[in-house]
Structure formats: structure tokens, C-alpha cells
Amino acid sequence: MKFFLDLFPIILFFVTFKFYGNVVPAEQSLCALGHCIPGGTPGAIYAATLVAIIASFAQVAYVWFKQHRVETMHLVTLALIVVLGGATLFFQNEAFIKWKPTVVNWAFGIAFLSSQFIGKRPLVQRMMESNIQLNDAAIWQKLNLMWVLFFMVLGLANLYVAFNFSTEIWVNFKLFGLLGLTLVFVVAQAFYLTRHIVSPEEEASP
């Protein structure tokens, strides 16, 4: 459920882009929030951006209603979609929304890197140590730096696809490419951690 909730705005962005570009005639327009979005493929990115903004607000509201707190990731994503998505709609320039995945990933990369020097534990350790125990404290530092590098690479990959290929290819990459790369990284990380995880028997031994 949480996995779907995290992807909710991205999925609606993807679905709206495909639907709007293929179903809404080019001679028609959708007018909302003081802006009219042209029909057909040219307007699909703007319609998808508008839906993503609304979906992000709905996501945060739902999480707050259910848990009475909101994760930092959701708040950062909401702020960026409002700023960059709003700029996309206001200036009718899709370059702003194409920067969003990069800015999000680089922001998290900076946060993970900063945690190497601020506080007693790197960010990845704070997130994962309740579920796993490692046999060497230095592994947390290495793992944290792996995430920093991964976030930076994702940001660069997004920029490369966004500004070297068509918008349709970028939309596909935004959902399937970035998600696929993340899954590959998580699996690789799991294999790496199997060599360093402390078993329950080892924890119980004096």
C-alpha cells in the first residue's frame, strides 16, 4: 500500500499524459486554474503536470489524515511539484517539470551526504537499523555513500533522457526507467548487505 501511495502522483502523471495526448482532440483545450491547456500531444505534458500537482496535495492530505504526520520525502516532493509544476504551467515550458526528478534526487543525495558529518549516525542507518544489524559500523558509512552516489547518478540520467529524447520517451523513463534503476540498486544493496548482517544467533551470543 505504501509503495503505491508513494508512486501515486507519478502513476497519475503517466496515465494522464497517455490519455490526454491520445484522446483529447488537438483543436480542443482544457481550461483550469486560469490556464488553457491545448489538446493532443502538445498539451499532454501540461495536463499531466496539473494532475500531478493535485495528486501530490491529495497524497499529503491522505497521509496526514491517516497518520497525523507526513514524511519528509512527501513534503519535499510536494514543494517541488508546486514550484516546478507551477512554473511549467505558468510559462508553458515543460523544461521545469523535466528538472523535478533531478532536483528531488539531488536533494536527497545532499541530505544523505550531509548526514555523514551531521549527527552521530548517517541517514541510511537511522532509516534501516531498526530492521537490520551490521557487524561493522563502518558499513553504514559506505552504504550511505552508495546512496549518495546513486541519487546523483539518477539525477544525471534524468537530465540526459529529458533533454536528449522526446517528451514521450522521458515520461516512460520517469516511471519505468527510474523505478527500474531503483529496484536494481536495492537488490544489489541487499546482496551486499548479506555479507554484513548480524544474525539473531550472533546477537544473542555473549
What pLDDT was estimated at residue 204? 44
Q: What angle do CA 126, 131, 137 make, to 5 degrees?
A: 55
What is the DSSP code (8-state) at residue 177?
Answer: I
What pLDDT was estimated at residue 205? 47
- The pLDDT tens digits of the residues spanning 116-160 come to 888 788 898 888 877 777 767 788 889 999 999 999 999 999 999
Dihedral class, residue 92 (left if φ above 0, else alpha if ψ from -120 to 50, else beta):
left
For 184, counting Cβ atoms within 10 Å of its Cβ (0-12 exposed, 13-18 middle, 19+ buried), the class is exposed
What pLDDT was estimated at residue 169? 95
As given in the structure block, the three cell numbers for residue 160 are 540526459
More confident residue, 68 or 202: 68
Q: What is the pTM of this model?
A: 0.85
Assign 51 a pLDDT band (cuts: 50, 70, 90).
Answer: very high
What pLDDT was estimated at residue 201? 47
- The pLDDT tens digits of the residues spanning 63-119 come to 899 888 888 888 889 999 999 999 998 898 999 999 999 999 999 999 999 998 887
C-alpha distances in Å from residue 171, one per residue of 99, 166, 181? 12, 9, 15
Question: Alpha-carbon distance 36 to 33, whole Å?
Answer: 8
Which residues are within 8 A (CB) of 142 and not within 5 positions of it... i.e. 6 or more apart? none
Least confident of 17-21, 31-35, 124-128, 177-181: 31-35
What pLDDT was estimated at residue 26? 60
Query: Is pLDDT at 29 greater than 60 in this prediction?
Result: yes
DSSP codes joined into one string, 14-83: HHHHHHHHHHS-TT-EEEETTEEEESHHHHHHHHHHHHHHHHHHHHHHHHHHHHS---HHHHHHHHHHHH
How confident is the model over 22-34, as a mean pLDDT? 62
Query: Is pLDDT at 59 greater than 70 in this prediction?
Result: yes
- The pLDDT tens digits of the residues spanning 153-193 come to 999 999 999 999 999 999 999 999 999 999 999 999 988 88
